[in-house]
Chains A and B, each alone.
Chain A
Amino acid sequence: MESSAIVAEGLVKTYPKDVRALEGVGFAVETGTVFALLGPNGAGKSTTVKILTTLTLPDSGRAVVAGHEVVAQADRVRSAIGVVGQKHSVDPDATGRENLRLQGDLYGIPLRELRGRIEALLERFDLTADADRLVRGYSGGMQRKLDVAIGLVNKPRVLFLDEPTTGLDPEARAEMWVEIERLAREEEVTVLLTTHYLEEADRLAKELAIVDRGRIVAAGTPEALKSELRGDTLAVELDGGGSHDSSVLAAVAAVAGVREPVLEGSVLRARAEEGARAVPAVLAALEEAGIAVAAATVSRPSLDDVYMRHAGRSLRAAEQEETQS
């Protein structure tokens, strides 16, 4: 077996009206692990998944999934993968069992084997009791489970999950996380998931890549990415809403041991060698500049900080920007 279940190199994709979705995305996913593409909506995560799953063609670049070229050997890739799209892709006018059956028919799974698999999947996703009800009556969490079950009908070696937990309540999200971990651990399925939840990538992914504006800006294990950031994260909430200017940054930049200050709305963030020691100095500098402070916190680096460092903005701000544009 090859060591990489997915290899992408220099993927470029432009949509009509010159919308550049991808500007050279490349990464590799180790077989049998969970890999996360992390980024805001519109960053290019879904486009990457569409190319890797043979749904659409890249303008340039190449990708190999489960040992086959996605463009030249699309049918072989299709047989080896399972795909769970961002939207529910279940037929609401069919029952859960019928949805699974149709998918099995499309993969040409021998009928006797298919029946057994369907029962096993219904059992596993706790859908047996509702198997013969129309999907229209399922809850969001149940539909999502059925989505994943459908993606597993062909026993894929590589599973793509495009934002698997978006829109789920916390309980359903936790269940989904357990299921994804189990897939990778017990069945050696390679999982590529996209998410805009930092905690999701942190919890599930062995390695991740941060995608921003069609590029990969950082990649590695969550631990390695976090440890690249020296010291602690300092967050200072300023009084007076978002009416602050660069004088805040200037005031803080002068404090010894404090780096990379960024102002977002009324929150000032910076990195500090030793956070607890830096706080008094930062507060003093702000006071001297005539800026009132509401609260200050010190924390160990998180993936949020990693994102901030590489994308130049927090994930939340990036999300807002993308929804506005």
Chain B
Amino acid sequence: MTLAIRHTVALTRRQLLNLWRQPWFVAITVVQPLIWLLLFGQLFKRVVELPGFHGGSYIQFLTPGVLIMSALFAGGWHGMGYIEAMDRGIMDRFLVTPAWRGALVAAGFLYGAVVIVVQSLVIVAVAFAAGASFSAGQVLAMFVLAILLGGGVAALSDALALVARQEETLIGAVQFVILPATFLSSGMMASDLLPGWIGDVARFNPVNWAVVGARVGSADWTIVGERAAWLAALLLVCAWLATRALRVYQRSV
């Protein structure tokens, strides 16, 4: 057990150090969500005047949506690191050590969690500066849900990377999935105003689970807890898939 923790910590530290040494990448990770926040915030400023929005500013409404979408991106790109590791032979070197296989997946989750927390802190800070306000409870709910969703997506991205082994495939999949998944949720638009079919799809969309929970926040812990539980279940399924994919990869090398 302590060994498994050591493996996980070592791999997480490795990834975070690599990230830290690419300052422009850190900058993009932090700046991109702000662009979404401020751009959409300005562009759709007046949609809150529509009946169906229950008052407040659009930034206030949008922040949980952008925060969850950013977590989605952070998770989606995680597999790129796997492809790099496979190309460089680092993956093979890991696989011939006696290290716990799950450490690879667990480290991906921890790394994702750190990135998402940093990213989310910046988003919330800027949202506050732009006039929004959130209770501490809501901030906590947003972070937890973002980490759970981002972690699940990261594991899925890793699994795809292991099976496809090509950057192009992963980039395509991420581009194909993330924006539609965001727009098929109440991330940008109030639930009551979504077209009927989008509303139906959204109910089964994990992104929407996270967005709904993040927006409700401390106002209704039951909803937050329920969505968190669904996302945690999804995370476990994705983590299991990633370890399966590791075996598929090993059979094909």
Contacts and interface: CB of A to CB of B under 8 A. Distances in A.
Interface of A: 15-16, 50, 53-57, 75, 78-79, 81, 83, 85-94, 98, 101-103, 105-108, 134, 150, 154
Nearest to A54: B96
Contacts of A55: 92, 95-96, 250, 253
Given A55-B250, A102-B11, A108-B6, 9 more contacts: A15-B252, A53-B96, A79-B98, A87-B88, A93-B21, A93-B22, A98-B17, A106-B98, A108-B98
Interface string B80-106: 000000001110111111110000000
Contact of A105 (B6, B90, B96, B252): B6
B14 interface: yes
Nearest to B10: A105
Contacts of B252: 15-16, 56
A293 B84 CA distance: 53
5 contacts: A50-B253, A55-B92, A83-B96, A85-B89, A89-B89
Nearest to B94: A106
Contact of B97 (A92, A101, A103): A103
Contact of B18 (A78, A88, A93): A93
B46 interface: no
B251 interface: yes
B3 interface: yes
Nearest to A85: B89
Interface of B: 3, 6-7, 9-11, 14, 17-18, 21-22, 88-90, 92-99, 250-253
B88 to A, nearest CB: 6
Given A56-B251, A56-B253, A108-B6, A94 B17 contact: yes
A295 B95 CA distance: 52
A83 to B, nearest CB: 5
Q: Which of B18, B89, B95, B98 has the most chain A CB within a 10 Å cutoff?
A: B98
Give me the 6 closest cross-chain CB pairs, A-B, nearest first. A89-B89, A105-B10, A106-B99, A78-B98, A87-B89, A89-B93
B97 A78 contact: yes
A131 to B, nearest CB: 15
B96 A81 contact: yes
A215 to B, nearest CB: 21
B17 A108 contact: no
A92 B99 CA distance: 21
B93 A85 contact: yes
B18 A94 contact: yes
B3 A89 contact: no
A102 B99 CA distance: 11
A92 B3 contact: no
B96 A91 contact: no
Contact of A88 (B11, B17, B88): B88
A109 to B, nearest CB: 10
B110 to A, nearest CB: 15
A55 B14 CA distance: 22
Nearest to B18: A93
Nearest to A93: B18
Q: Which of A83, A93, A107, A134 has the most chain B CB within a 10 Å cutoff?
A: A93
A92 B14 contact: no
A100 to B, nearest CB: 12
Nearest to B7: A106
A89 B253 CA distance: 15
A29 to B, nearest CB: 18
A73 B94 CA distance: 17
Nearest to A151: B93
Nearest to B89: A89
